[in-house]
Amino acid sequence: MPFILFKKTAIALYEWSRLLLLPAHWGVVRRDLFPLQSSQHPDTDHLQATIDWLCRAQDVADHGGVSAGYFCKRGWMHPYPETTGYIIPTFLCYAARQQDDLYLQRARRMGDWEIDIQLPTGAVRGGRGRIGDRPYPIVFNTGQVLLGWTALYRTSREERFLGAAVRASDWLLQVQDDDGKWSSHTYMDVPHAYHTRVAWPLLEVHALTGEGKYRTAARRHVEWALNQANPDGWFAHIELAPGEDPPTHTIAYTLRGLLEISAHLEELRQPILEIVLRASDHLLQALSDASPTGLPATFDATWRPTASGSCLTGNAQLAILWLELYRQQRDPRFANAAVSLLEGIKATQSLDARHPGIRGGIAGSTPIWGPYIPFAYPNWAAKFFADALMKKEAILP
């Protein structure tokens, strides 16, 4: 026991010394002590810087996976299977935009790395540590990597990607509860409303294979998820851990999953759209009351903000959601809100920092010490910001 305590103390001292002693970290903290200044750079500059940061995150991880991000207390992290999986479509989209196969090759390396580490059951591993240390399967991670494999198959028609997706989908069906939820092999071993982002990729696999079992499983989950929603647009089980107030990150996961599903399940499109619009109305009101940096990081079940600071990942995700709602509904509130969120994120992104972990990255929170992934630049924040900028370019040219 004394040795374990000594080891934990030594690690903590090392992490805090990294945070406190590197001048690059102090620059970010100093910036966030004052009101943020609007970016004077166009979206294209911010998009390129974000993609460059994601390329560095892949290069430092080696083997094809993408580092979970740059954490000020620890440096660059190990590659993260979950988020590498859904970064693949981002690189495919950027490759098409730039007409540059370099990004296509990077996406293919990510997909091959995911196949190399896929568990024998077909599931995707959990955790952000060294892969050999993380042999357990996770439902959510499996769904996110499905999004990458199916996108790669559509682009390349290489059978290994579809084969991996089918094996993963079959495992998801094996561990699904009778009522459609997933409650085993999940974070904290509880069901989550944001598993709508697992049902969505199952429908992508159905679209590629024509196998009705994947559509059936996805629909069962959607029906379960809709039953978790109350008349005010709030979902039970939308938080990461029981008893916590959910961040906008998991709220946006849930709503985006539902909206994408509505394109596949026409019979459920109307009830899905109603609940997404109801929840969005509350978030739009919160945005109008918020600071220029974006939405409050967390909410309670009455849609009351419960944290200062803002979750930049959630802001980027909601910008994507609202740009799509604007495309469908032509309600200018959604376009205006999406642009407002993106301008807030741009104000936090450094385009000229010398430190490669900070330059072009998107922090977990603003201020940097905020409640969601503090003092860190997670790769999923950069991924969703890049997606949002490209979607804005397509919808609001």
- Read off the pLDDT of residues 288-334 as tens digits, 9 standing for 90 and up: 876 666 899 999 999 999 988 999 999 999 999 999 999 999 999 99
- Omega of the bond prior to 137 within 30 degrees of 0, cis? no
DSSP alpha helices (H): ranges in the chain? 2-21, 23-32, 43-61, 81-98, 101-117, 139-156, 159-174, 196-209, 212-227, 248-262, 269-289, 312-329, 332-348, 379-395
Per-residue pLDDT band at 23 (split at 50, 70, 90): confident
List pLDDT tens digits, range 364-381. 999 999 999 999 999 999
pLDDT at 82: 96
Among residues 28, 26, 34, 47, the alpha carbon closest in space to that of 291 is found at: 34
The model's pTM: 0.94
Average pLDDT over residues 88-95: 98
Q: What is the pLDDT of residue 127?
A: 75
Residue 73 is predicted with a pLDDT of 83
Encoded tokens for 181 = 């939820």
Give the mean model confidence (pLDDT) for residues 99-124.
97
Span 129-139, pLDDT tens digits: 655 457 899 99
CA nearest to 73, candidates 111, 18, 130? 18
Under the banding of pLDDT at 50, 70 and 90, the label for residue 184 is: very high
Least confident piece of the model among 105-109, 132-136, 275-279, 331-335: 132-136
Look at residue 345 in the predicted model and tell me its pLDDT: 97
